[in-house]
Amino acid sequence: MSDKITILNDRLADSLLADLDDDSKCTPGLYQIIRGYINDNRAALDDIPSNSLDFLEQKMTDAIPFKKEAS
């Protein structure tokens, strides 16, 4: 069963990444799902340097098409 979970997890990650590349799918809901996925897999991110994660977070934040402009 563990192998099936790994396969499912890999396919989900691939699908989420593909959706991020599709402007028609980049919605607030998609970003919430990705945020949840990242939180659920936080342990796998522990080996990634924090400066790399900060860079990725900033890149995602900059790419959000619906972000509210500061006034």
List of the chain residues with pLDDT < 50: none
What pLDDT score was predicted for residue 55? 74
Q: What's phi and psi for 47, nearest 5 deg?
A: -85, -5
Half-sphere exposure (CA, 13 Å, Cβ side) for 48? 13
* Whole-number pLDDT of residue 63: 66
d(CA 4, CA 28): 29
Contact 69, 31 (CB under 8 A): no
Interhelix angle for 2-20 vs 28-40, to 10°? 150
Tokens standing for residue 49: 């340097």
